[in-house]
Amino acid sequence: MQHPEELLKQYEANFSKNNFNTSPTNLYKPVEHIMQMKGKKIRPLLVLMSCDMFGGDVQQAMSPAFAMEVFHNFTLVHDDIMDKADIRRGQPTVHKVYGTNAAILAGDVMLAYAYKYLTSVEGVKIPALLDIFNKTAIEIFEGQQMDVDFETRADVSLHEYLKMVEYKTSVLLACCMQIGAIVAGASADEQKKAYDFGLYLGLSFQIKDDLLDAFGEGEKVGKKIGGDILLNKKTYLLISTMQLASLAQREQLNHLLLEADEQKKITGIQELMKATGGYEQSNQKAEQLFNAAIEALSSISIDLSAKQMLTAVAQKINTRDY
C-alpha cells in the first residue's frame, strides 16, 4: 500500500491548479479563497487510502477524492455564515472578505462541482457513488439543523449530541471510506466495515475538535478559541459538564451562559469544564470511539500492512493538536 504522503503528493499534482471556471470572477474568487486555505485533506486522503487498501487504482479515485474535499469546503463556507465565524484555518472566512451573498453562491456552485467530480468515473460505479453521497449530504444538512436547534435548548442529551455529530461530521468520513471502496470494487460487506471505521473515527474526531475549540492553542487550531462556548453550542464537553456539575456549579454555569463579557464567559466555563470532570469524560469518550474505529478496521479481510498504514493515519488524527 502506498504511503499517505505519496498519495497526497499525487492528489496535489492532480489538483494543484484551478479546477473551477474563472468567470464570472465574483463567483469563483470566493471559491478560490476557501480552496487555497491550507487544510488537513483528511477526507480526500481517506478516499485514496480506502481505494488503495482494497487494491484499486488510486488514479480512478482522484476525482471522487477531490469531490469530497470540495463538498467539505462548501459546508464550511455555509457553516461559517451561520456561526458568524470570522476566522477559518487562520484566515478570514469567505463571507468576511466577499460578503454573505457571495459566500452563499460560492457554496452553491461548489456543491455542483462536487457532483461533477464525483461522477467522473466509470459509468457502472456512478449509481453506487451517488447513493452513498446523496444519503450523506442529506444527513449532513439534517445534522447542521440539529446543531442550530441545540443552541436554544437546555435539555440536549449526550445521545442526541452524538446523533447530531454522526450526521454533521462522521458520515462524511464514513462516506469517503465507502467511496474509495466502491471505486476499488470492494464487496458490500467490506464497504460496510470501511464505512463503520470512518463513522467511529468521525465521532472521535468531532469530540476532539470540540475539546480543541475550548482548550486548544489558537494559532495551531486556526480559529478563535472558545467560539463554541460563546455560541452556547451543546458539545459533548458542555453537556458532560452540565450533567456532572453540582447544584452550585450548575447555577454558576447557567449564569455564565448568559454572560455578556466574552472573555469572562470563556474563562469561567473552561474552569467549570475542568472542575466538574466534563473535560476528562469527553477525552475518555473520544478514546472509546477511536478504539471502536480501530476494531472495525481490524475486521476487514485485507493485508495487515494496508490496515496498519490506515491505523497510523487514524492515530495521527486522534492525537492532533490543531
CATH classification of the domain holding 246: 1.10.600.10
Who's near 313: CB < 8 A, 6+ residues apart?
4, 45, 49
Number of domains making up the chain: 1
**Residue 75 grid coordinates:** 459546508
DSSP for 72-94, written as a single string:
HHHHHHHHHHHHT--EETTEE-H
Q: What pLDDT, on a 0 to 100 scale, did the predictor assign at position 237?
A: 96
Q: What pLDDT, on a 0 to 100 scale, did the predictor assign at position 202?
A: 94
3-state helix, strand, coil in the chain (%, to 5): 75, 0, 20
Q: What pLDDT, on a 0 to 100 scale, did the predictor assign at position 223?
A: 56
Residue 105 CB neighbour total at 10 angstroms: 18
Q: What pLDDT, on a 0 to 100 scale, did the predictor assign at position 89?
A: 87
**Domain residue limits at 112:** 4-318
Per-residue model confidence as pLDDT tens for the chain (322 residues): 899 999 999 999 999 777 999 999 999 999 999 999 988 899 999 999 999 999 999 999 999 999 999 999 999 999 999 988 899 988 999 999 999 999 999 999 999 999 999 999 999 999 999 999 999 999 999 999 998 898 788 889 999 999 999 999 999 999 999 999 999 999 999 999 999 999 999 999 999 999 999 998 765 555 578 989 998 889 999 999 999 999 999 999 999 999 999 999 999 999 999 999 999 999 999 999 999 999 999 999 988 887 888 999 899 888 877 6
CA dist 165 and 70 (Å) reads: 20
Q: What pLDDT, on a 0 to 100 scale, did the predictor assign at position 218?
A: 60
**Helix, strand or coil for residue 252?**
helix
**Helix, strand or coil for residue 132?**
helix
* Per-residue H/E/C for 183-227: HHCCCHHHHHHHHHHHHHHHHHHHHHHHHHHHHCCHHHHCCCCCH
CA dist 2 and 120 (Å) reads: 23
